[in-house]
Structure 1
């Protein structure tokens, strides 16, 4: 089953924990065993899994991505001026696949699923595809 969730972002660079929304889809679809694919169909936003206990981790990740891919660079050619967001998205990736076992996402103790905004603020869509088996 394919579900869509809306994500409203508030800053240019932001990581939003969407783990609870993915868990809700698993519950609503009554998936007991299988996988779930979480996908961003945006060229300037991605999906990652990382620590969700300490907010400093999100800060540090975004800080380092901004250092590696500065918003402005004299050699960027993309006319829209958001080359950094495209580079960040390609680095983070557009999707994550998570195992579902006994109706629960298999995530580590400190792991969460994040929507990564790199060109906000915007209204975004995340696709969640459940696969039983």
Structure 2
């Protein structure tokens, strides 16, 4: 069994943003040499998340609109007394910091329209750290 790690870094330019990392994840799968297994993607931040969905501008804007409605950035959250970013922590909590995809025949298994996105909830940030772990044969 092989275990392969790769760290990628992404910068963001907006407070709320979706950054497509699909190509970077697929490149890591190829480099790993794993034919069949699993790919774990983990964002090492408590104010960012990962999602899988279609890379279509209108949908991406809709996703961000719904996230903003859900986390209510202007609400008087108690954590805002410390960092003024409670909405980002809440969004990360409910969206999740990780995603797992199968690997079959050396390729990441995902739906036709499924891409992998970093969800920036507290940007802009010069660097977001994402760990990719690939396990298999």
Q: Which runs of 5+ in 1 are unaligned?
A: none
Residues in 1 aligned to 2:90 and 2:104: alpha-carbon distance in whole angstroms: 34
What TM-score does the superposition give when structure 1 sets the normalisation length? 0.95
SS in 1 for 2:78: coil
What TM-score does the superposition give when structure 2 sets the normalisation length? 0.92
Measured after TM superposition, the shift of residue 25 of structure 1 is 0.4
Measured after TM superposition, the shift of residue 118 of structure 1 is 0.3
Aligned residues: 131
Residues in 1 aligned to 2:36 and 2:25: alpha-carbon distance in whole angstroms: 15
Regions of 4+ moved over 4 Å: none
Of 50, 56, 59, the match for 1:57: 59
Of 20, 24, 27, the match for 1:24: 27
Partner in structure 2 of residue 77 of structure 1? 78
Residues in 2 aligned to 1:22 and 1:69: alpha-carbon distance in whole angstroms: 28
Measured after TM superposition, the shift of residue 64 of structure 1 is 0.9
Of 24, 36, 39, the match for 1:36: 39
Measured after TM superposition, the shift of residue 24 of structure 1 is 0.4
User: Over aligned residues, Cα RMSD in angstroms?
Assistant: 0.9
